[in-house]
Structure 1
Amino acid sequence: MVELRDFLFDLGVEDMRFQGNSRTWTNKCPQNPVTKKLDRAMVNTNWIRAFPNSIATVLPHEFSDHSPCVINLAYPLPASGTKPFKFFNHLTSHPKFLSSTEAAWTLAGSTASDLSLLGCKLKNIKRPLKTLHKESFSDIQKRVCEANSLLKLVQVQAIANPTTDLFNEERELQEKYYFLRGIEESFFQKKSRVNWLRLGDHNTPFYQSIAAARASQNSIRSISLLDGSVITDPDLISSTAISHFEAILAPELLPTITASYNWLQALHSLSY
């Protein structure tokens, strides 16, 4: 199994996102029942890039001892709704980062005496950071391609007609291109969750492939209910998830506290 695992790692393949039964084989022996996951749908990075929404469905085995697997190349993704705020490290390299943060922090009040006020101040900082990221770093891959195209155009002009202005413009565009490439690498590094790597000057293609694989694996396309049924409707998935966590975090009937006040007071004295 170790050799097989290493072989699959060298090939660069991994399990496709799947739904249905997690085990695909049964010995059909009532006296000694055994079930295992022997059959897998495995894909590589090129597949994930070409079919990012693909999903495998493991069906009941019926008359066979192996479960069939059906692959859908374009399974619709549920609508994500409002995306949560994520802080990217490359924001700190923007010249306006400190001034925008300081202005938003000051505007929310000079002090924060409790967690509620601190939360309000942090929310006020979130808005200008989102605006800064959208104006300067949104669609970073497109920005890198455009900077590269402008750089090549000026380089051709500088070679054909060498002037001081063209050489200065080439230097500025080259600095901008390298800066955006570094931002792109940092962006996909955070998306890929790879903390450290040494492959070359820029590891962006590697980070992109890992980020695409993570996005494909982490996307919720279906939910299995307790009765065994599977729901795929995005609105129904959302309402089911909300109801589940509301029952855990905000139940209508709160459990009674069995510990007495004296017990809590004794516990507090033990901390000193």
Structure 2
Amino acid sequence: MDNIVRNDAWLIGGDFNVIFNMEETSNAVNSGIIPDISDFQRCVEELRILDHQFMGPLFTWSNKQQDTYLACKLDRVLINSSWIEAFPSSVVEFQAPGDLDHCPSLVWLHKGVPIAKPKPFKFFNFWVLYHSFMSIVEESWQSSVGGNLAQVLFLKLKRLKSYLKELNMTHFHDISGQVQKKRDDLLCIQLFNLNDTAAGSFIKDELEVE
């Protein structure tokens, strides 16, 4: 492996399907997997790699079973010493799994201050079922605007977006906002359940939100 990697910065990450030590599981370790743990430890030692420090929960997977809850750290990001020298400001974050089985891991070579970005516009198909949908679209679209053809199209689409947002807020009780809140609640509960100090404490709440 040294002949391949040499002194290059090296990072390897993903689902290794095995824990590295006994503290990386919410339950007692089954004796049947101890050989797998030993093999993994030996591999990491021989490759002279180590875990990148990370933000987020210790556990990255759970079986989501209320009566027999189990959470483990199966996902990790491993680096060599050359990576530390080349990217001393790199950051690893494990996020809530959301719809996934495992926590996704994000790697930044340098994590700066978050930049506020405009929220993307979402069109909901059920809007067209509203009895006045076409009238709203026609009212918005037929009002004249100035400019060349490209500017006219842009301004009409922009205005139509505000009309549809108003429709969503007034007649559909801001369904997009409700969906986003539900998702935010789910992600928060998932992170709490994957925390090693409270593993699975709110698995019932997680399953209800899902």
- Scaled to the shorter chain, the TM-score interval is 0.3 to 0.5
Select the structure of larger CA radius of gyration. 1
Q: More helix per residue: 1 or 2?
A: 1
Structure possessing the higher relative contact order (Cα contacts under 8 Å, 6 or more residues apart): 2
Taking structure 1 as the reference length, the TM-score comes to: 0.27
Taking structure 2 as the reference length, the TM-score comes to: 0.35
